[in-house]
Structure formats: structure tokens, C-alpha cells
Structure 1
Amino acid sequence: QEKNANEKEKEKKNIGGDAREIEDQVYKVALQSYREKAYADCLAKLKDYAGEITNPNFYYLMAITLQHLGDRAAAIVDYERVLKLDDLHFNTNLNLGRIYYNDKNYEAATELLETAYSRRENDLDLLYDLTKAHFYNKNYTTVIPYLEAYLKRNSDGGEAWRMLGESYSKTGKSRSASKAFEKADRYSTGNDELYKHLEGSIAKYGREASEYSKDGKYKEAISVLEKGIMEHSKAASLHFNLGLNYIEVGNVKKASEEFRKTIDLEPAHAKAYQGLGLIHYEREEYREAGAYYLATIEAGKQDEFVYYKLGSCFFKLKNFNKAVDAYQQSIRLNPNQKRYHFGLGASYIALNEHYDAIAAMEIALKLDPMYLDAQYNIAVAYLKMSQYDKSITEAEKILAKNSEYAKAYLVIGHAHKRMGNYILADSFQKKAERIDPSLKQ
């Protein structure tokens, strides 16, 4: 009986040996076809083998052949079979890790690439693949030492510096993040994978917030933008749009903070300066508003409205010559806006350049014949030049269009008073006061 048992064991080993030899022969023949790029033939030979597969390279050859033939799903199945036989198989961990990375299955990718990297720590490309997998899996603490190691060996990698900056930022290391972002700006070509990923993500938050803003849902837009900033704290566009939405809900303090953050991140962001100009103008802080409108122009925004607001700041500050220059710039950019000509005319009146004032007001009136304030200022200009008949004529033109325009009666009254017609003057003064009690002397 003992002899029979030994013979059976020997026979079993021989059978196993024969099977492994056959498996090995099939593998070698298939490998030759693979090397000759006869992928379909290679796959057919491998699939014809019906025995037990014990060599992990058998499955590996099948997996890479399937990839060449475009069957990724089947290739993944065979890569997984390799790992069941040899979980440290370098090429399988590397290839499957990259497949999962491309599929955005970053958690699975990191595990596989970690295994591959443990076998080949001098492989710089592999190290970079591993860092990206950790980064996109949001393993910011884990990825920092990998990125630092990579950048010691490749210090001009713009994308790597950008990832390091983001990782430092996410882990509260703002000073280190700032230095890393400076390196990213220096070395980045602006077309690396992370740059495109970040730009796409930032744009997504911007679009979503914009849809809410269009519908007047400013609080919802603010929530979206704040979420985006948590992920992209250095995105100037998100801070700027957040500032705009804070203005819409009346939170001027927050809006101002966001515009300033925008400028810190992007010093040439003209619209952020303009936003701060608007805030200070509404507060009647004309000196500060003017400074921000000037900064808007210096940042490259040659905008008619910015020049107009700058002119208005100078006018309020009684710097009328500079107001004239600013209004003229706004008119140069758009000669068809009546208020630009009105502002110019008002500045000329303040400078006692009355004929220039009348010319500007007449253009405003031509653009809008019912622009009664412009016609009123023409009447005032004639009054100041002691051309009383012309002043009265202009005031009467106003009353023909609107008999309730109180200041027209007031101008006529002043004209008669200066001509010595005191009874008429008093009559027109009283008419003005009846319509507008604030005009009482």
C-alpha cells in the first residue's frame, strides 16, 4: 500500500510537471506572436490553452494583448488574475494602476502604484504617477513628501509645483503654498494636466453660480462660490464673482473683502478695482473711489463708464479740470451717451467756461430732446454770462415741455431780478416755490 501511495504521488508530480511544461510552451509561442505584433494570433494561442494557469506572466501577456486589441474591460479582468497569483507583480501593478488613474478611480490607483513604486523607487515617471493619484484622491498630507521628493529631482516641473501649492494650501501651510505657487507660475506652461483640471473645475463653479445669479438667486450663487473657493482658494475669478454677489445681497463689507482678495491674487484684475471704486462711490468716499477707478484704467480697462465715474469723482472733489479730462475720455469712447456730455457741461460751468458748457449741454439735448436738466443748465450758463433774454428763452423752452419744472421758473425769476423787473421776478420765484418748497429763499 505504501508503494502504491508513493507511485501515485510520483505520477501526480509528473502530471503537474507536464502541465507546467505545456503552459510554459504555450506562453513562449504566444509571446513570440506578441513580439511580432500578431496580437490576435497571440490571444488565440493563449485562449487555446485549457489547463490550469500557474504562471502570472501568462495572464499578464493576455492582459497586455487585450489592451492592444482595444478590450480594456477584459484586460482589467486578466490583470486582476495576475495579482491573485502574484500581488507584487510590478508591471501589473503599474499598468492597472495607470488604467484606474485614467478611469479616475484614484483610490484603487494609489494602492497599485504604491506597490509598483516600492519595487522601483528610482523611477521618476512612476513617482509622478503616484503623486498625481494621491493628489486627485485628495490625500494632501500623504502626497506632500512624494511631491517634495519629486521636485528635488525635477525642480522645473510646473504642474508638480502647482500640486504642491494646492496640497500645502489644503493642509493649512499658506506660506509654503505661496512659495510653491510662485514656482508654479514660473515653470508652468499653462497647458499641464492639473492646470486644465483646475481651470475646468473653477469654470464649473463659475457657470453654476452664474445660473443662480441670472435668476436672482444670489444666496445660492454665494454658496456655490464659497464651496468653490474652499477647493480653489487661489482662484481670483471665484473671489471676484463672490464679491459681485455680495453686492447684490447688500453685504458691502464682504464684497469689499472679496474684491481685495481678488487683487491680492491677480494685481491686474481691473474689474475688482472697479468694484471697489463703486463701493466707495456709493459711500460718497470720492477720493478713494477715484483712486480705484484710476487703478482700473491703469490695469488696462479702457472703459467709457469707468472714465465717467472717474469724472464724477473729480467733479465731487471740485477738481473740475481733471473732471473735464475724464468726461472727454468717456465721450471719446462713446459719443452717444447723453450723461457724459452733461457731466462735461457741468464741469465747464463750474470753471466758468460757459460757451463750452452750452456746447456740451446742447449735444446732450440733441441726444435726448426731453433731457430738461441739460436745457436748464444752458439757461443757467446764459444767466451767468448776463445774457438774460437767452436765459429766459431757454427756460421757457423747458416749460413748454414740462410746466411743472420748478427750476425753470426760478431761472426766469433770477433773470428778471437782475434786469430790475422785481415784481415779475417775485412772481416767478413764488411759482417755483409752490411747485418745489425746497427752492424757498
Structure 2
Amino acid sequence: MDIELRCLSRAQAAVRNGARAGVTSRGGHLGAREPPSDTNPRDGARRVDFRGKLYVAPLTTVGNLPFRRVCVGLGADVTISEMAMASNVLKGDRGEWALLRRHPSEKLFGAQVCGGWPDLLARCGELLDDELDCDFVDVNMGCPIDGVCAKGAGSSLLRDAEGVARMERVVRAASRSMRRAPLTIKLRMGYDDDPSKHVAHEIVARAKSWGAHAVTLHGRTRQQRYSRAADWAYVERCAAAARETSTPLIGNGDVFSSADYERHMSSGSLATCMIGRGALIKPWVLTEIKERRVWDISARERLDLFERFGAFGLEHWGADEKGVETTRRFMLEWMSYTHRYVPVGLLERGVSQTMALRPPAYVGRSDLETLLASDKTEDWRRVARMFLGPEAPGFRFVPKHRSNSYSAACDAAAAARGVGGGGGEEEEDDGEEEEEEENG
């Protein structure tokens, strides 16, 4: 009928064009099958060098474009979008495409998508490769959110041999659908906490032969979520497996200081470390790593970061009433993490703040420092009003994420002491479970 097909692979398009020119094929109604596995249409694809570059993790809700601009100003070399669902990207969902927008200041930028089926990721990869301004495409195969796993994506691919086999088909299909941007994947150690069921080391050893350019490994399982410390001994085991095939491996989990970064990189096995919650709580950790120092940042300097975010937000979302309130809401979401920072000038000598231990309540060195440490949403709103003015009538804010990185026992002890803040997972207003912040 000579109707243009908009969801067509390159191989099918070639067959269609050949048929118009009078060339026949032995294929079905869409023509010949896809290129056989021994061909590689990606010989001209660009290569991305992650070695020694500071990589800010894909962060649900808070890892928006204005936040990434703040991180770039503090030393980030590699940034990546919030996770977009591949099925929604293919549908042309405007909200999903908005997650993938890049700012010119982002020097090395990746787009992250999530999906668990080869045909879906092949079409999505081809679409992003053709239409999106990005340097690489990352497929999240470690996202622990229940809704994602129920669709056969994310961490569900790590559950059993069938899932790993499907993961292989996804990587092969997606990588072969892209000629320009390389494909990377992000994993967790496994689905269950049982060490005998950890499969990441096997996947890392084979990922390059499937078509993956690099692998990011979060040193936790799906069952673990963000509880307990990341298992860097296992990450090192996987790094040894990656080295055998010259696959760049990026470690992820609990990088909260320059000392953490240097310790994990000391073996020379990792390409770099991905920084997630560390960048949310104290984005200047990027500067600390770059300059190899501890920054006792002042309250005024911390406030300047919110001012910078506000300006970037109004530029990105608009300066009308809707844009101002959108900027305000995302600024408050970010503050739901930044208040967890304890100024190093208040810590005892030789003591450093760690990710999974709840800090005690303290009084800052100034009223502003104390205000920035508050876990009360009204205090966060007070800070936001300094830059965005009074709130619109009826404005209401409930943090979308609460930390589940603290143990239940620690949370109970904090409640007994009368210390505010939440531990343990909480459901969103609509009742659907949401992950803390990092997409796996």
C-alpha cells in the first residue's frame, strides 16, 4: 500500500527500499531477517573512555538537568539522564523524553533506559541513536523497584538463568541496533542476598562478547536495596573478571569522600566509580575527589548551590508560576537528602561521616548551618522561599523518597531519642512503592 512504516529496523527498511527498486527477497511480509550474529554493524561506533572520569549516577527524581548542571560545575565529567522506560520512549511520551534532555555543559552524557525484552530495546536503541544527542546509551538491569521487576526488567533479569539468557539477547539486540552510540549496562550483584546466587561476575566476563561497551556494578543485591554497606570485595572480584576481557568496569556504592574514591581505585582494576547518594547529600564530593582534599564547606557556600539550582531550574522549567513551583518542588526533593550532611568541622578528629549510619542531631556553627541540617519540610520550604519567593496558594509538599539505607534498628533507636527523619521504606501518596533515589 506504499504506507510509510515509522517503526522499522534498518534491515527491514533496506528490504523495503529494495522491493521498491524491483529487488526481490526470500523474507516474509517485512522482508529478510535481521543481520546474522557474526556481522557487526557498529564498527563505526564511537568509543567512550570512562577511565578516571567522575561519573554521577542516574538518580530518580533528583537527577534532573538543573541538578546535573550543579554537579558539572563542581567537577562531574560524566552525567546521565534519569531512567526512562523504553516502552514509554517508543510511545513518544513527552514526559519520558523530557528526562533525556541534555544541557550543553554536559561534556559526556548518557541516556539511561529500562526494559527487559530484546525487540523493545532494539527499537528503542535505534530510535535514541538516531534522534537523541547523547554519547552512550545505558540499559538499567539492576533497578530494584517492584513495578519495574514485575515487567520483566531491571533486577528481575538477575533472578535466574532464564533471566540472564534474556539479558544476553537484550544486549545483543540493542547494541546491534545502534551505529553511533555505544551501549553500556548497569547491574547489581544479583537478585537475592545468598552469595551462591550472585551472578554479576559471570555477566561481566561475557558482557563484551554480547556487545556491551562497559559495565557498571552496584555492590548490592536487589533484595538488599540500600541497606548495609556495598560489597566492594565482590566488586573487585568482578573487576578481575572484566580485566580478562578488557571490559571497563565502573564500581558503584557508598562513595562519600575523596578517601572512599581513592581506596576503591587503588587496585587499578576499575575504570572509575559512579557516585550516587554521595552526590545527592554533598555534591561537592566531586570537588573533593578532583582536588584530593576534604572541603569544610561553609553554610553560605552550601546555600549558594541552592541559589544556583534555582536559577538553572527557572531556565529549564520556565519562570512562570508553573515553572517556579516545579523548580521549588525539585529543590525540596533535593533538600530531603542534603540535610543528612554533617559538617566535617563538627566531627571529632579522625572520624568521618558514613553513608549508612544516621548522624545524631547537632547544632551548627551558625543559625544557617543549623537550618540546613533540619529534617523538617517547613525548614526546607523556608530555604526555597529565599530564592523562589512565596509559594502558590495550596502548595503542598511530601518528599517522594525516604531513605531506606538505615537499618530498622537504627531507625527505632532514632525514634526513641526523639530524632526526626525517616528510615525504612515508605510508600508514595498513590500507594505505589518507590525506590530511594538511585536507579539500581
The structure showing larger relative contact order (alpha-carbon pairs under 8 Å, at least 6 residues apart) is 2
Could you tell me the TM-score, scaled by structure 2's length? 0.25
Could you tell me the TM-score, scaled by structure 1's length? 0.25
Q: Which has the higher helix share?
A: 1
Larger Cα Rg: Structure 1 or Structure 2? 1
